[in-house]
Structures are given as C-alpha cells and as structure tokens.
Amino acid sequence: MTDMRLPLYQRLRDDMLARIAAGEWAPGTAIPTEAELTKHYGVAMGTLRRAVDTLVQDGLMERSQGRGTFIRRPNFDGSLFRFFRHVDDKGERRVPTGRVLTRREEVASSGVANALGLSKNDPVIYLERVRQIEGRNIFHERIWLSTSRFAPLLAIAPADFGNLLYPFYEEQCGQLIGAAQETLSVDTADQDTAKVLDIAPGQPVIMIERIAKGYDGTPLEYRRSTGDAQPFRYRIDIS
C-alpha cells in the first residue's frame, strides 16, 4: 500500500517499480512517453521527470537519446568477471557456462531465512550449480529461493535449467531480478567445494555472497559463489 506521507514523486517512483515487478513493463523495453505518463498519473511533467531521474540514478532505467527511457537489465556477472580473470591462450577472456547439479526443496536455515526475509524453517528451493570453462569447474554455487515464489522450478529437472538463471526465473516463474547486494570474503574450501573445484580441502577460496532483489526491493535469491583464490585479482585505480 502506498504511503501517502511520501512526496508525490517518490510515490510515483514506487508505483513504477511495482509495474516493473509485476511484469507490466519488461526489462529491455521502453516505458510509455512522458506525455502518456503525465496523463495517466495526473501529475506535472517536473514531478514525473524527478521520479524517472531517481530510477535512472539507481540503475533501474536508462535513457536513450531519441529513443526514450528503457527498463535496464543489469549485468549480474560483472563481479565474477571483474575479480576472476579466465583467459585462453590468446589472452581473450572466457565466459563460464552454468550447469545445475542438484535441485531440491528444504527448510530455510536461520541464515537463509534472514537473507530472503523469511521465517526459519520456511520451505525454500536449493540449487547446487557449477560454472564451467571447457568442462572445467571454475565456480561452485549454492543458491536458495523461496518456494512460494519459485515453485514451478520443482517440476523442472536440473539438466533442463537454462544456462542463465535470471532469464530462466523470469520465463518460468515470472520473477524479475532488478538489483543485487554482494559481499566478498575469503574462506577455505570445504569437502564439497574442494571436490567440485578439484582443489585440496582447506585451500583458500574467494566467496561472493549475493542477495538478488526484485525491482520493488523484495529479496528473491540468496547465492554463494565460491572460486579458487589462485586466479583472483583485485584492482582499483586511485587518483
């Protein structure tokens, strides 16, 4: 329910986010024109533009000169490819493919429940996944999703999951991922990760924990991506 105490432009912004989250405005498509939106909402042009400006600044929309304003589909592999550099003999970057190994339903641990905004022991779908380059496992991923939002995935065999999960979520469950929060940490490989990555148990690994959210800010996916620390590189330019 809209909080009428909020400024009008912010209420407008929230309504636009709700339309995106509901699938009314799909990622990659243009929103209606400013004239159409001011008429629809009954607001001044300045109010509308301020609402759209906040969505552009948040990276949820982008303006294209002469074409309009579009719903942006974020690149969620950026962190993996920014920190883990995998190149071929010619020095060209290689992009891993994804394969789901396991899909099952379980009860949420306290950590998973907290990440997804659920109650402990609520049902969740667990996915175990690997990212590969030329058949070699590069990342070991553990993923949790709320069963209430992603129930159709329980009827799909692991081998039939798409290479890119976020478009697959959208296609199969109508759930759109619009933003994510990531935390990077150093850990050691447990038995399962060591086996998947073909490294020794206890060897240093880099873990990227991600909470992916819908366009309305609802937590939708909790993911832990683990990779061998050997190819990990961190670079920042300071000026």
pTM (2 decimals)?
0.78
- Mean pLDDT of the 43-56 span: 93
Higher pLDDT, 124 or 85: 124
Using pLDDT thresholds of 50, 70 and 90, give the confidence band for residue 22: confident
| DSSP structural state of residue 11 | H
Question: Are the C-beta atoms of 179 and 74 separated by less than 8 Å?
Answer: yes
Give the whole-angstrom CA distance, residue 179 versus residue 58.
9
Q: Where in the chain is the domain with CATH 3.40.1410.10?
A: 78-228
Mean pLDDT of the chain: 88
Q: Where in the chain is the domain with CATH 1.10.10.10?
A: 8-71
For residue 91, the model assigns a pLDDT of: 58
- For the cut 80, the answer to whether the pLDDT of residue 75 exceeds it is no
Using pLDDT thresholds of 50, 70 and 90, give the confidence band for residue 33: very high
Q: State the amino acid at position 193 in one-letter form.
A: T
Closest CA to 215 of 21, 48, 80: 21
For residue 234, the model assigns a pLDDT of: 62
Query: CA angle 108-112-116, nearest 5°?
Result: 105
For residue 5, the model assigns a pLDDT of: 82
**Coil, strand or helix: which one is 220?**
strand
Give the whole-angstrom CA distance, residue 161 versus residue 91.
30
For the domain made up of 8-71, give the CATH fold: Arc Repressor Mutant, subunit A (1.10.10)
For residue 146, the model assigns a pLDDT of: 98
Show the 3-state SS of 33-102.
CHHHHHHHHCCCHHHHHHHHHHHHHCCCEEEECCCEEEECCCCCCHHHHHHECCECCCCCECCCEEEEEE
- For the cut 80, the answer to whether the pLDDT of residue 102 exceeds it is yes
Higher pLDDT, 230 or 78: 230
Phi, psi angle pair for 65, to nearest 5°: -55, 125
For residue 72, the model assigns a pLDDT of: 85
Q: At the top level of CATH, which class does the domain 78-228 belong to? A: alpha beta
- Mean pLDDT of the 157-175 span: 92
For residue 28, the model assigns a pLDDT of: 85
**Coil, strand or helix: which one is 146?**
strand
